[in-house]
Amino acid sequence: MSFQDLGLNPKLLKALDAEGYTTPTPIQSQAIPLALAGRDVQGIAQTGTGKTAAFALPILHRLAANPKRPAPGCCRVLVLSPTRELASQIADSFRAYGKFMDLRSTVMFGGVPKGKQARAMQMGVDVLVATPGRLIDHLQDRAVNLSQVEILVLDEADHMLDLGFIVPIRQIVKMIPTERQTMFFSATMPKEIGNLASQMLKNPAHVAVTPVATTAERISQHVILLDTSHKRSVLCELLSSVVSGRTLVFTRTKHGADRVVKQLGESGLAAVAIHGNKSQGQRERALAEFKTGRCRVLVATDIAARGIDVDGVSHVINFDLPNVPETYVHRIGRTARAGADGAAISLCDGEERAFLRDIEKVIRMKIPQLPAPTARVARPRAA
Ligand code: AMP
């Protein structure tokens, strides 16, 4: 199936062509026809599957089919996203796919002043992408009015739950007309998320893409068993002689991320970090350096990395193993996106062996061992 077969507006087809997309991903070929027909959609899909375009394309098609000037302070489409990174990326995607349309869009999230965001709403916009907390602030200031929303999207609902956004979401949804189209995406559908979906959606069509555990099959996975004290030198060795592409290094803590960047720097390897203690400007700069390839190593914590959309990550290195197995699946899913192949290498010390066993249970495979890159770092030095 092609994007033409889906019957999308020629302006969107032109933009997709410019993006280099040739074939819809599975979530796109499932969700787009349903959304174009006006159905509510409940989707199970994680980042990396192409879910953003799965909702953005039919939304833009519907906006183009019924152009209207949005009223001041109003938006025709509201997309709720859990994190500022994801919100920015969704807004970028709308801009990219809508670049041949006369589209007004804006994004709002916390951590930056509100004034500019409020001014962007004054004339009204077609698409507003927002994190729930900051949107509530703007609603209280009466800078945003949701009475004209025609389409509502809730993205990464399970992550919203993790971050405690369910109450603000309920408040927000109450302000949106019930006569609307709603699309709801989540990587997992625990009971609480299922309940929220059933309150928000009307007779939804269900779409799902292969569960995370099997997404991992396209990724070559290895583990290096080593002493904690060797992690640093093994990482340097991997980055300088084994791993050549764009690499995402995961650490469990913010402090750990900063330490790894510093240690790599001391070994002459340029790396940037992204985590919750960094300012918005610092995060954007780090991401930009990584995206443009000026810096090929990005060190991130799990929360900060969720929703980062960077193409062409060839390697994921787990400097620490996560204690939640699903996090491992999320992490390695940052490579091998949209059909490319990727590789994941995990450094596992004695204390992390139990985490490794849990991960292997969830992914239903034994991760093959890789010898540490050199004898020098692999074995304790002989006395
Ligand atoms: P998402 O799951 O929305 O975060 O998308 C994952 C990545 O796949 C993004 O970098 C998109 O730009 C890319 N992508 C989405 N749809 C397609 C497609 N049909 N063909 C190629 N790349 C795509």
Q: Do residues 34 and 119 both lie within one domain?
A: yes
**Which tokens hold the place of 246?**
């764009």
Give the total number of structural domains in the chain. Answer: 2
Q: Do residues 244 and 192 both lie within one domain?
A: no
- Would 42 be classed as within a structural domain? yes
Residue whose Cα lies nearest atom 6 of ligand 1: it is: 48
What pLDDT does residue 376 have? 45
Q: Which of 188, 208, 228 is the last residue of a domain?
A: 208
Q: Do residues 160 and 69 both lie within one domain?
A: yes
What pLDDT does residue 81 have? 96
What single string gives the DSSP state of each residue in 276-312?
Answer: TTS-HHHHHHHHHHHHHTSS-EEEE-HHHHTT---TT
- Would 381 be classed as within a structural domain? no
> Can you tell me which atom of ligand 1 is nearest the CA of 47?
2
Q: Do residues 66 and 180 both lie within one domain?
A: yes
- Would 369 be classed as within a structural domain? no
Phi then psi for residue 16, to 5 deg, are -65, -40
Enumerate residues lining ligand 1, CB below 6 A: 21, 23-25, 28, 47-53, 309, 311, 337-338
Q: Do residues 251 and 174 both lie within one domain?
A: no
What pLDDT does residue 377 have? 41
Closest C-alpha among 124, 100, 342, 94 to residue 217: 342
Give tens-digit pLDDT for 49-88.
Answer: 889 999 999 999 999 999 999 999 999 999 999 999 899 9
- What SS3 class is residue 249? strand
What pLDDT does residue 69 have? 93
Selected residue with higher pLDDT from 305 and 105: 105
Average of per-residue pLDDT across 141-155 = 98
Probe residue for ligand 1, chosen from 309, 310, 330 as the CB with the greatest number of ligand atoms within 8 Å:
309
Please report the beta strands in 187-245, taking only residues with DSSP state E, as ranges in sequence order: 205-208, 219-225
337, pLDDT greater than 50? yes
Q: Name the band, by pLDDT with cuts 50, 70 and 90, for residue 90.
A: very high
- CA 340 – ligand 1 centroid, Å: 11
Q: Do residues 115 and 185 both lie within one domain?
A: yes
- CA 48 – ligand 1 centroid, Å: 6
- CA 65 – ligand 1 centroid, Å: 24
Q: Do residues 186 and 290 both lie within one domain?
A: no
212, pLDDT greater than 50? no
Counting beta carbons within 10 angstroms of the beta carbon of residue 273, is it exposed (0 to 12), middle (13 to 18) or buried (19 or more)? buried
Q: Name the band, by pLDDT with cuts 50, 70 and 90, for residue 213.
A: very low
- Would 241 be classed as within a structural domain? yes
Structural domain containing residue 282: 219-363
Residue whose Cα lies nearest atom 21 of ligand 1: it is: 21
What pLDDT does residue 200 have? 96
Q: Name the band, by pLDDT with cuts 50, 70 and 90, for residue 381.
A: very low
125, pLDDT greater than 90? yes
This prediction has a pTM of 0.65
Q: Do residues 161 and 113 both lie within one domain?
A: yes
15, pLDDT greater than 90? yes
Considering the chain, what is the average pLDDT of its residues?
89
- Would 194 be classed as within a structural domain? yes
Tell me if 346 sits within 8 A of 224, measured CB to CB. Answer: yes
Closest C-alpha among 46, 16, 17, 52 to residue 32: 52
Q: Do residues 204 and 321 both lie within one domain?
A: no
Report d(CA 363, CA 320) in Å as an integer: 18
Comparing 33-47, 109-123, 356-370, which segment has the lowest mean pLDDT?
A: 356-370
Tell me if 184 sits within 8 A of 330, measured CB to CB. Answer: no
Residue whose Cα lies nearest atom 11 of ligand 1: it is: 50
Burial profile 170-193: b = 16 or more Cβ within 10 angstroms, e = fewer: eebbeebeeebbbbbbbbebeeeb
Q: Name the band, by pLDDT with cuts 50, 70 and 90, for residue 307.
A: low
Q: Do residues 251 and 339 both lie within one domain?
A: yes
DSSP label at 368? P
What pLDDT does residue 182 have? 98
What pLDDT does residue 199 have? 94
- Would 375 be classed as within a structural domain? no
- CA 96 – ligand 1 centroid, Å: 12
Q: Do residues 35 and 145 both lie within one domain?
A: yes
Residue whose Cα lies nearest atom 14 of ligand 1: it is: 50
CA torsion sign, 140 to 144 to 146 to 147? Answer: positive
Please report the beta strands in the chain, taking only residues with DSSP state E, as ranges in sequence order: 41-44, 75-80, 105-108, 125-130, 151-154, 181-186, 205-208, 219-225, 246-250, 272-274, 297-300, 313-318, 342-348
Give tens-digit pLDDT for 258-300.
Answer: 999 999 999 899 899 988 777 778 888 888 888 888 899 999 9
Average of per-residue pLDDT across 237-248 = 86
Residue whose Cα lies nearest atom 20 of ligand 1: it is: 21
- What SS3 class is residue 262? helix
- Would 37 be classed as within a structural domain? yes
Comparing 64-68, 295-299, 309-313, 353-357, which segment has the lowest mean pLDDT?
A: 309-313
Give tens-digit pLDDT for 100-120.
Answer: 999 999 999 999 999 999 999
CATH code where residue 247 lies: 3.40.50.300
CA torsion sign, 344 to 291 to 25 to 1? Answer: negative
What pLDDT does residue 37 have? 96
> Can you tell me which atom of ligand 1 is nearest the CA of 25?
19
